[in-house]
């Protein structure tokens, strides 16, 4: 993936909730390029979701992610 695309994706990790940024930035920096293409696309799509939804899935973990995001959410949780 070209560096310019990586920069755009990393910028999308910027959130209104700093707690989410503390999860998303390190995950992106340390693991994104190691993911297969499908999981990379899942992560990119995940970044389009609302902070409240991401918060519930990644931090609170009381709400189960939709099937589409279940695998990438598990990968992010395991990495943090």
- pLDDT at position 80 is 83
pLDDT at 1: 65
Q: Which domains does the chain have, with CATH numbers?
A: 3-79 (1.10.150.250)
For tokens 């918060």, the residue is: 55
Question: Alpha-carbon Rg of the chain, whole angstroms?
Answer: 12
- Residue 73's Cβ-count burial label (10 Å; 0-12, 13-18, 19+) is buried
Mean pLDDT of 32-48: 96
Label residue 57 by pLDDT band (50, 70, 90).
very high
Question: 0.85 exceeded by the pTM?
Answer: yes
Write down the mean pLDDT value for the chain.
93
């Amino acid at each position: 993936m070209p560096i310019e695309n990586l920069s755009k994706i990393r910028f999308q990790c910027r959130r209104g909730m700093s707690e989410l940024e503390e999860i998303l930035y390190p995950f992106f920096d340390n693991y994104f390029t190691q993911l297969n293409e499908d999981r990379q696309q899942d992560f990119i799509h995940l970044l389009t979701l609302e902070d409240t939804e991401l918060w519930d899935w990644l931090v609170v973990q009381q709400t189960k992610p939709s099937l589409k995001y279940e695998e990438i959410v598990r990968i992010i949780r395991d990495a943090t």
